[in-house]
Amino acid sequence: MELLEERIRKDGIVKEGNVLKVDNFLNHQMDIELFDEMGKEFKRLFADKPINKILTIEASGIGIACVVARHFHVPVVFAKKTQSINIDGEVYSSKVESFTHKRVYDVIVSKKYLSPDDHVLIIDDFLANGCAVNGLIEIIEKSGATVEGIGIAVEKGWQIGGKTLRDQGYQLESLAIVESMDPATGEIVFRH
């Protein structure tokens, strides 16, 4: 998606350790008009899927997921990160290693909000090694719901998450795929 690539070129900061910082429009300050265009694009890409729910993971997926949901007219559920399972009632859970914080979280969703009738679109801000998305897939599978697709804002194409998910047969749509980025020069190359 040209608009997102332009914005990453303009405002993205390439950090050491394979991290792209996009705090100016996605991860801290949020550009809702851009999110709205992203929602429109996901709706086009998943138009033929019977999606009735969006699932994301706190915190940075929530903002995008909410704006995307306006285009699908469906509710958003976000998986909560916790270190002790202390939510009321029963939950589905999985373990996710955070790429940016380098620690393992239990991730939970209440059984009230996912069921075998659900057809779920997973939305997240970044895809790197795929830990977050795999944790969400595990939760969806435990609930008996169906994964209809995965929508990502920014995929880092050299990390294994994207290839692994596509090889497994999931419809994975990333609006910008970074092929490479150089912390020394700040240069960012996109895959088309």
Question: In this structure, what are the phi and psi dihedrals at residue 160, rounded to the nearest 5 degrees?
Answer: -80, -10
Using CB under 6 A, which of the segments 44-52, 112-120, 125-133, 143-151 binds ligand 5GP? 125-133
Binding residue (CB under 6 A) for ligand 5GP from 66, 76, 77, 127: 127
- Least distance from ligand 5GP to the Cβ atom of residue 24, Å: 11
Beta-carbon contacts of 18 under 8 Å, excluding residues fewer than 6 positions away, are 128, 156, 159
Per CB under 6 A, 24 contacts ligand 5GP = no
What span, in angstroms and rounded, lies between the C-alpha atoms of 161 and 181?
17
Per CB under 6 A, the list member of 6, 95, 100, 186 interacting with ligand 5GP is 100
**What DSSP state is assigned to residue 171?**
-
Q: Residue 148's closest CA among 50, 55, 64?
A: 50
Classify residue 25 by its DSSP letter.
I
Instruction: State which of residues 3, 11, 13, 19 lies at the interface with ligand 5GP (CB under 6 A).
Output: 19
Among 5, 41, 118, 124, binds ligand 5GP (CB under 6 A): 124
Strands across the sheet with 104-110, in order? Answer: 91-97, 104-110, 76-82, 53-57, 119-127, 146-156, 172-181, 188-190
Is 145 annotated to bind ligand? no
Binding range to ligand 5GP, per CB under 6 A, among 19-27, 43-51, 65-73, 81-89 = 19-27
Among 3, 13, 24, 27, binds ligand 5GP (CB under 6 A): 27
Q: Which of residues 60 and 143 has its CB atom nearest to ligand 5GP in the complex? A: 60
If one asks whether residue 130 binds ligand 5GP (CB under 6 A), the answer comes out as: yes
Cis bond upstream, residue 176 (ω within 30): no
Residues that bind ligand 5GP (CB under 6 A): 19-22, 27, 60, 99-100, 124-132, 156, 161
